[in-house]
Amino acid sequence: MKLRTELIGSGSSVNRDLDLVIAGGGPAALAAALYAARYDIEHIVLESYQPGGQAALTALIENYPGIKTIGGGDLVAVMKEQAESWGALFEMSSVISADPIGDRIQIKADSSTYMARNLIIATGAAPARLGVPGEEKFYGRGVSYCATCDAPFFRDARVLVVGGGDSAVKEALHLSEFVSELVLVHRRDKFRAEPYLAEKLLSCGKCSVNWNTTLKEIKGDESVESVVLSTPEGEKELKVDGVFMYVGRKPATEPFANLIDLNDNGTVRTHDIVHTSRENIFAAGDVTDNKLRQIVTAVSDGARAASAVFELLQ
């Protein structure tokens, strides 16, 4: 308990020796924090400047068992409150690097450095960029990766959504409550998204889906004015006020690239769900190569990882 008091009142740039550092602030990290606190493991959670991770940017969660519907931000806020009520400690600081030193891991974050016996990587994933001309130029000026954050700016506008997965369809449904017209383009002729979500989108009056269609370019002067699409009938230009991209996610694993084995797509290579190529390093949630990426699986990973750390410390 002494250590915890020191941590709460301490300044920055101090090497602190802990049993566990949890990197990340989404559901996986929050569950790991809850379990670590209840196991009384000396720990700190290094959450980035986007607390709650991707889940916090999801308008509506309808598949978290036990709660019929809840906003993503509300769900992660309750998770954090619950973890803190058990003594979980948080610091708003992004991990910059992690290096093995003896039997410890040195974790450098924006404002501090920690030496830890164990590390749980739960840094999640950020929206992938499509890489088309105009995407960077108009980011924040009509190009967005977050309908939950930006939908109110597109009231009565015509928008394009790119992608066919759960994120694209779910966020398109949220956007449709604001915009006057929504066009979704998907590179194939079949959604990857849950059928329930797909059916909802297909029956949304102001939404249309262009199959086998890709986005080639985003055009405009100060902000987005139109897009160039490659369709089965050839290229066409469509006037739109905004473009929302949901073409997958990029795992946030750069700081750990030299520490543990990663897959070609950047995810952490795991075995037995949360174990990595190092005995004292665990991974949880969207940062892993586990197939199902849901809030319910992220919290399960977080709990398993904290439990594995507890066992190692015995």
Judge contact between 144 and 243, C-beta under 8 A: yes
- Tokens representing residue 14 in the block: 């101090």
Residues annotated as part of the active site: 146, 149-150
Does position 214 interact with ligand NAP (CB under 6 A)? The reply is yes
Distance between first and last Cα of the chain: 18
Q: Which DSSP letter does residue 166 get?
A: H
Q: Of 20, 308, 252, nearest to 122 (Cα)?
A: 252
Does position 113 interact with ligand NAP (CB under 6 A)? The reply is no
Whole-angstrom CA distances from 53 to 61, 161, 262 are: 14, 21, 21
Q: With respect to ligand NAP, which residue has the nearer C-beta, 25 or 26? A: 26
Q: With respect to ligand NAP, which residue has the nearer C-beta, 183 or 281? A: 183
Does position 247 interact with ligand NAP (CB under 6 A)? The reply is yes
Does position 250 interact with ligand NAP (CB under 6 A)? The reply is no
Does position 166 interact with ligand NAP (CB under 6 A)? The reply is yes
Binding mask 27-66 for ligand NAP (x = CB under 6 A): ------------------------------------x---
- Tokens representing residue 313 in the block: 């410390």
Does position 164 interact with ligand NAP (CB under 6 A)? The reply is yes
Q: With respect to ligand NAP, which residue has the nearer C-beta, 17 or 177? A: 177
Q: With respect to ligand NAP, which residue has the nearer C-beta, 3 or 198? A: 198
Whole-angstrom CA distances from 252 to 29, 53, 97, 142, 267 are: 13, 11, 12, 25, 8
Q: Which of 246, 256, 282, 310 binds ligand NAP (CB under 6 A)?
A: 246
Whole-number Å distance between alpha carbons of 209 and 201:
9
Q: How far is the CB of 143 from ligand NAP (least distance, A)?
A: 15
What's the alpha-carbon Rg for the chain, to the nearest Å? 21
Residue appearing with tokens 């469509």: 238
Binding mask 174-193 for ligand NAP (x = CB under 6 A): -------------xx---x-
DSSP letters along 70-87, please?
B-HHHHHHHHHHHHHHTT
Binding mask 256-275 for ligand NAP (x = CB under 6 A): --------------------
Q: Report the residue closest to ligand NAP, judged by CB.
A: 165
Strand order in the sheet with 143-144: 143-144, 242-245, 158-162, 181-185, 207-210
DSSP letters along 98-155, please?
EEEETTEEEEEESS-EEEEEEEEE---EEEPP---TTTTTTBTTTEES-HHHHGGGGT
Does position 241 interact with ligand NAP (CB under 6 A)? The reply is no
Q: How far is the CB of 210 from ligand NAP (least distance, A)?
A: 12
Does position 26 interact with ligand NAP (CB under 6 A)? The reply is no
Q: With respect to ligand NAP, which residue has the nearer C-beta, 267 or 280? A: 267
Q: Is 123 exposed, middle or buried (0-12, 13-18, 19+ CB in 10 A)?
A: buried
Does position 200 interact with ligand NAP (CB under 6 A)? The reply is no
Q: Which of 294, 296, 307, 312 binds ligand NAP (CB under 6 A)?
A: 294
Which residues form the interface with ligand NAP (CB under 6 A)?
Answer: 63, 130, 163-168, 170, 187-188, 192, 214, 246-249, 293-294
